[in-house]
A = this chain, B = another copy of it.
């Protein structure tokens, strides 16, 4: 993979399949990589939030990248999540992933401690000055210290290695402010959105692509939405964006993230295993209900059969139920500083 392949299109943040002992399920992960590439995603994005990077050990995170790089064999570019405990460890990860031929790393802003813009700047500056590989800033203010526009602009100006930002805030004017601030000084800089609910308008306003969790479950739809939008087929892409929003909301808000995506991936035929975050009995019950609803949604899109009990006529998802849940969870997220 040439080091100046543009970061463009849909990069899939993959779930990591686990086996019955809770270990990385390597054969299934390899199968999943092939499946994704065959369905047209433009790139892979392991060790993102969907990939639950914080729940793996440092050795496991490395192994995930090694497996995926080996299996991909250059067919698509890889954006490798590389955040470790501190800048020294992170730079080591950058070096290792560089040696594996990944296209770039993605580094989430410092989390747990909530840093000021000055601290966020200093953190990325030290990494960018020492990384042998392009760095994508990863802004996800619901989980980590926010990266504000002036910080992005300054890093883009001072650090040639900082080549892109992945922004999961879903805040469209924020994305536009970044594009307006950075593009004039760094025309090569790439802007990726991590918020599937706004993929179409983000692309229309200048984003280069997305790292979208839905593309790990319904890559056919996410890819098609990208193509339709880039082709200017507005009516078709609008209609598809509304359908994707429904799937996204159902998977994102109906269970503790990323359990909804894991459940949906199972419906696509993968052995995903049980996640590492324990689920209470109530949560397990809810997940079963969700799984049936997701199966109806996926069946309506032609990706699976209907569940044994059948699906409600008309709307495949119980929209009211999901809408209530979305409100509650969006409220929760807002409470905790997001959205």
A positions within 8 Å CB-CB of B: 22, 49, 52, 54-58, 85-89, 110-119, 121-123, 125-126, 142-144, 148-150, 153, 170-174, 176-177, 179-181, 195, 197-198, 200-201, 204-206, 232, 234, 238, 241-242, 245-246, 249, 256-257, 276-280, 282-283, 319-320, 323-324, 326-327, 330-337, 339
Give Cα distance in the complex from A87 to B277, angstroms: 8
Whole-angstrom distance between the alpha carbons of A218 and B331 in the complex?
A: 34
Q: Are A123 and B277 in contact (CB under 8 A)?
A: yes
Set B58, B85, B123, B339: member contacting A54, Cβ < 8 A: B85
Known A-B contacts A148-B327, A181-B323, A327-B148; the reply to A339 vs B111 at CB < 8 A is: no
B198 near A54: Cβ-Cβ < 8 Å: no
5 sampled A-B residue pairs with Cβ under 8 A: A114-B142, A114-B143, A114-B332, A122-B280, A204-B204
A238-B204, A249-B177 known; A116-B278 Cβ under 8 A: no
Q: Do residues B119 and A280 form an inter-chain contact, with CB atoms below 8 A?
A: yes
Identical subunits present: 4
Give Cα distance in the complex from A204 to B202, angstroms.
12
Which of A49, A171, A180, A336 has the largest number of chain B CB atoms within 10 A?
A336
CB distance from A48 to the nearest CB of B (A): 12
Prevailing SS type, chain A contact patch: helix
Tell me whether A176 and B197 are in contact (CB under 8 A). Answer: yes
Most B CB within 10 A of own CB, among A86, A143, A148, A332: A86
Tell me which of B58, B112, B238 contacts A206 (CB under 8 A): B238
Return the contact of A85 from the options B57, B172, B246 (Cβ within 8 A). Answer: B57
Asked if A279 contacts B119 (CB within 8 A), the reply is yes
Q: Which residues of B contact A22 (CB under 8 A)?
A: 88
Note all chain B residues with C-beta closer than 8 A to A85.
Answer: 54-57
Q: Are A278 and B204 in contact (CB under 8 A)?
A: no
**Distance from A214 Cβ to chain B, minimum over Cβ atoms (Å):** 13
Residues in chain B near residue A277, CB distance under 8 A: 86, 110, 113, 115, 119, 122-123
Q: CB distance B87 to A122 under 8 Å?
A: no
Q: How far is the CB of A120 from chain B (nearest CB, A)?
A: 9
Q: Quick check: B150 and A324 within 8 Å, CB to CB?
A: yes
